[in-house]
Amino acid sequence: MNRHLESRDILAFYLESGVDETIGEEPINRLDTKTLARPAAAVPVHAEPPALSPFPLSRPEPLPAAPSAHPIPAVPGRVLEVSSIEALGQALAAFDGCPLKKTATNLVFYDGNPKARIMFIGEAPGAEEDRHGNPFVGPSGKLLDQMLASIGLDRTNVLISNTVFWRPPGNRPPTTSEAAVCLPFVERLIELVDPLVIVALGGAAAKSLFATTESVGRLRGRWLPFSTAGLPRPIDATATFHPAYLLRSPAQKRGAWQDLLAIRKKLESFQ
């Protein structure tokens, strides 16, 4: 789903993130080594998203698999051998192993581009997502769209999914076992998309994906190698605040903005 974002929405996100100075008509890429040499100045405020160089949808040559000092452990017992995202969706639709399916209206699989170079994984569908069968279409989704737009991304060049594919009743967090039973599907989705970057949105996603008990506060700003048995190489993964948390705690948007800049820098490092 690709929704139109008003320029003022993106501007609002910049302002709430503490970006409060306009310094020129043209955006400046401060991640460019040439512009880094310039004197420090505030990130420019623009009603339009920054002129991020377009992300080619074709993937670069795969990097050789590099063993990592601290790999995120692969989940053992992967059983899914489906070879397309469509087949994975069909497998999920036929899957009765997650109790959340019984109380949900719709399967919420993914949104965005299956050839995306970056994946965002949230916690669980909410009421609106359950109604529409699409992830992040409610208030958190609106903020997520603004966050993406602030670094020149949208749903045509990212893929968005969740740690569980059905809405937990009453929007409670998914249990550890609900997340565990869905994890092989999430992992297979990641393998089939094979992105360059994975971003866990919030603590629940980070816990499930990275098999960690560390909080988002501790994971933010770090890059971890995400591995599964079916990936040709570890994928650079990080975590940032969940948009729903940012809606409740707008002061943290400043930190989220720093995370977004780091994510953009990481993506640009692959160009």
Binding residues for ligand URA, per CB under 6 A?
Answer: 122-126, 129, 135-136, 138, 140, 162, 244
Q: Which is nearer to ligand URA, 138 or 255 (CB)?
A: 138
> Shortest gap between Cβ of 169 and ligand URA (angstroms)?
15
Residue 144 Cβ vs ligand URA, minimum distance, rounded to whole Å: 8
Q: Dihedral of CA 62/194/72/221: which sign?
A: positive
Query: Residue of minimal CB distance from ligand URA?
Result: 122
Residue 43 vs 160, nearer CB to ligand URA: 160
Smaller CB separation from ligand URA, 13 or 109: 109
CB of 104 to ligand URA, least distance (A): 12
Nearest to 171 by CA among 96, 93, 103, 97: 103
Q: Are 267 and 117 in contact (CB under 8 A)?
A: yes
Tokens of 203: 């603590």
Minimal distance, residue 36 CB to ligand URA, in Å: 35
For the CB of residue 216, give the shortest distance to ligand URA in the complex, in Å.
Answer: 13
Which one, 13 or 136, has the nearer CB to ligand URA? Answer: 136
Axis-axis angle for helices 7-16, 253-268 (nearest 10) = 110
Q: How many CB atoms lie within 10 A of CB 193?
A: 21
The CB density around residue 75, as the number of other CB atoms within 10 Å, is: 16
Question: In this complex, which beta carbon is closest to ligand URA, that of residue 19 or of residue 124?
Answer: 124
Q: Is the dihedral of CA 253, 143, 152, 241 positive or negative?
A: positive
Q: How far is CA 147 from CA 7, 9, 27, 152, 193, in A?
A: 12, 10, 17, 9, 22
Question: Among residues 112 and 122, whose Cβ is nearest to ligand URA?
Answer: 122
- Identify whether the C-beta of residue 263 lies closer than 8 Å to the C-beta of residue 153: no
Q: How far is the CB of 138 from ligand URA (least distance, A)?
A: 6
